[in-house]
Amino acid sequence: MPRTAASPQRGQPTIVSIAERAGVSIASVSRVLNGLGARRDTVERVERAAAELGYVPNAVARSLKDGRTRQLTFAMPDIGNPVYVAMVRAIQSVAKAAGYRLLLHSTDAVVDDELAVLRSLGDRTSDGLIICPIRITDAHIEALRAAAGPVVVIGSLPDEVPVDSVRADSVAGASLAVHHLYETGRRRIAFVNGPADTVPGRNRHEGYRAALADCGLTYDPSLVVHTDFGIESGAEAAEALLHRSPDAVFCANDQLALGAARALHARALRIPEDVAVAGMDDSALAQAGWPPLTSVDLGSTERGRRAAELLLERLGAPDSPTPHTTTAPPRLVVRASTGRAAPDA
Amino acid sequence: MPRTAASPQRGQPTIVSIAERAGVSIASVSRVLNGLGARRDTVERVERAAAELGYVPNAVARSLKDGRTRQLTFAMPDIGNPVYVAMVRAIQSVAKAAGYRLLLHSTDAVVDDELAVLRSLGDRTSDGLIICPIRITDAHIEALRAAAGPVVVIGSLPDEVPVDSVRADSVAGASLAVHHLYETGRRRIAFVNGPADTVPGRNRHEGYRAALADCGLTYDPSLVVHTDFGIESGAEAAEALLHRSPDAVFCANDQLALGAARALHARALRIPEDVAVAGMDDSALAQAGWPPLTSVDLGSTERGRRAAELLLERLGAPDSPTPHTTTAPPRLVVRASTGRAAPDA
DNA sequence: ATGAAAGCGCTAACAA
DNA sequence: TTGTTAGCGCTTTCAT
């Protein structure tokens, strides 16, 4: 059954319905709607018809025509982590200002999911992608090279991969925290880290070790726990570390630190008098607990903003050959959880 | 300059390039790619060509053809609030399982933004919308009636508006908390509420008043503060309430409660011995602080999940006339922040 | 200033 | 089984 032009699929008005109602051609409708020249009365009739029909231009048709969707995709491991929330906010704000919508993907850090997202750039659903993988495999690198559209990576890529990226300096960040703990008198600094096989996990561990060496402290493996990022894990890890009697617990993110703080409170240990606690990310969580948490700001918001800006630049000049890499400098934010130890501690 | 079929816009392969390479028609390509019948060797040649070219179907073209984008939109006030994060997670998970992507909008609770989102349903960018307004104006209702596609509202709509919705029962929720505080011996129960002109604000206030009456306590306006939702606001409000010497502070969400707890800690007041604290939403924050927070679970995850399911149902049966309304029952989660008062308190 | 028509990439009805 | 063609809604030449 052939469908007549006057009865479109969903009853939604199209330029055809407007043209019929206004008694002009669809080309004129298009011109008027796009503010190009037209005779006064043509303009009026078209605008009236459009208003009366409640016309809204079909964005899909427009996209097909001009090859862009005005959508950006952000893929991150877990929207439950405040760090990624901060990134989403920053990206969303830049995107919105530039007239782009934001598509969200939670990958749960599953490699296949991340690769699928990368490949899906080819389906033209969005004009560009910001992806934040916590592991970077050879498959990632291959997929990045083969990407069918602009990509910005939030994370640490090998230098030879020709892709824009924004990285945190978590080596320096971890080091900052350890130095601070040392300077406020701590000597047995435990470390609750995330998974050892992730980029952040490796880097934070490296920073921790290096800073200990700087301070003339010996690295003691029994003061280090690897777990996953999460409040419960932090509590369990801290619990397990307590019999090593640390005087400080440095955690690879704020969620772990909050968990650690809870474990200490539960044992009636005072923070910071008995044990200091420091986290990383300086997320909203750092100020949620008691005492407020010393934390290393790794610039999540900054990184999100910068990634979005890079992506927009790339969309403006697709063939600019040189990939940009920015590194957000870490910043130590000292709060009450790391004051001086009690004299007798 | 006319563009030949063989050199498409972005160098991206299309069914035309595949057809040429495989020496068949585009229809055959389409059939093979969609798993319809074809001769063995046709299938092979098409699949080989597609693989060699790294073909990915253009989702925009497909959408234009069949009138659906397989995208859902979620519009909420603020992705920084854990409640909405919980909803995003739940919605994302349902959407993903059904093969839909998720488009995110942060409206900052700005009415014009929310109306724009509602209107933008007409541009066919997404197949349906979940919107979570905290104020519901006549303009909202009008826009909802005029919506060009399926909408589910998370929030309390007047009954006569023919739109699917999922609501929280924050009246009952607030009442639950107040009763619990009363039963654990509190008699001067202060209330830190959100903005008075929002639906949640009004309802929580109503629940608070009603519960006080139930318990035979008099409503004392000087024990009530209206502010906005946020940690800092909670701290300031609690600070301001302290000279009224409450024995409990009930807060309209967890962020406020965390702020209140901080203010109490800063004054060296013990929780719960001196003052009990309770929040609402039972978000991730409730277990982030110390002591862990008693909170009323208003089913954010549940509401998000349900809203997504309703939307998918509606997409399956667009003309089903009866709007569905679900109410998530509130659930009190008791934690350490509301133990019994100290005997002498 | 306006209209006819091509074409973006795809699917599906129809013909062969 | 396969190819030709129309058409989704829009923008944009190219004529008029």
Put simply, the answer to whether B284 touches A80 (Cβ < 8 Å) is yes
A284 to chain B, any CB pair closer than 8 A? The answer is: yes
Give the domain range for residue B232. Answer: 170-298
- Is B61's CB within 8 Å of A64's CB? yes
Beta strands in A155-309 (DSSP E): 164-168, 189-193, 224-226, 248-251, 276-280, 294-297
- Whether B88 sits inside 8 A of A104 (CB atoms) is yes
- Do B194 and B313 reside in the same domain of the chain? no
Nucleotides of C under 7 A from a protein CB: 1-5, 7-13
**Are B229 and B255 within 8 A, CB to CB?**
yes
Mean pLDDT (whole number) for B5-30: 82
Whether residue A284 sits in one domain with residue A181? yes
CATH number, residue B315: 3.40.50.2300
**In terms of pTM, does the model score above 0.85?**
yes
State the total domains in chain A.
3
What's the CA A1/C1' C15 distance, rounded, in angstroms?
Answer: 16
> Is position A53 within any domain?
yes
Domain-embedded: residue A339: no
Positions of chain D reached by protein Cβ under 7 A = 1-13
Mean pLDDT of successive 10-residue segments in chain A (345 residues)? Answer: 34 94 96 93 96 97 96 96 96 97 95 96 97 95 95 95 96 98 97 95 97 97 95 96 97 97 95 97 92 97 98 87 92 94 62
Q: Does residue A334 sit within a domain?
A: no
Cα B336 to chain centroid, rounded: 28
Number of H helices, E strands in chain B: 12, 12
Quick one: average pLDDT of B240-251? 97
Contact predicate B311/B72, CB 8 Å? yes
Domain annotation covers residue A20: yes
Could you give the dihedral angle defined by the CA atoms of residues A177, A179, A181 and A182, in that order, rounded to the nearest 10 degrees?
170
Residue B157 within any structural domain of the chain:
yes
Residue A64 forms part of a structural domain? no
From A249-253, B254-258, B287-291, the region with the lowest mean pLDDT: B287-291
Q: Are residues B184 and B227 in the same domain?
A: yes
**Average pLDDT taken over every residue of chain B:** 93
pLDDT digits (tens, 9 = 90+) for B161-180: 999 999 999 999 999 999 99
Query: What is the torsional sign of CA A19, A21, A23, A28?
Result: negative
With contact defined as beta carbons under 8 Å apart, do A228 and A256 qualify? no
Whole-number pLDDT of residue A344? 54
Confidence of residue B10 (pLDDT cuts 50, 70, 90): low
Q: Which residue is nearest to nucleotide D8 (CA to C1')?
A: B65
Q: What DSSP line would sit under B162-217, residue for residue?
A: -SEEEEE-HHHHHHHHHHHHHHTT--SEEEEE--TTSHHHHHHHHHHHHHHHHTTP
The verdict on residue A337 lying in a domain is no
By the 10 Å C-beta count (0-12 exposed, 13-18 middle, 19+ buried), A343 is classed as exposed
Q: Which residue is nearest to nucleotide D6 (CA to C1')?
A: A2
- B122, amino acid identity: G
Q: What is the pLDDT of residues B39-97, one digit of tens each?
A: 999 999 999 999 999 999 999 999 999 999 999 999 999 999 999 999 999 999 999 99
- What confidence tier does B4 reach under pLDDT thresholds 50, 70, 90? very low
Q: From CA B306, how far away is CA B64, in angstroms rounded?
A: 29
Residues within 8 A of A (CB atoms), B 242-271 only:
258, 261-262, 265
* Same domain, residue pair B271 and B324: no
pLDDT digits (tens, 9 = 90+) for B178-229: 999 999 999 999 999 999 999 999 999 999 999 999 999 999 999 999 999 8
Average pLDDT over residues B273-289: 95
B29, B18 contact by CB (below 8 A): yes
Give, as one character, the DSSP assignment of residue B2.
P
Q: Measured at the alpha carbon of residue B218, what is the angle toward residues B216 and B223, in degrees to the nearest 5?
A: 135
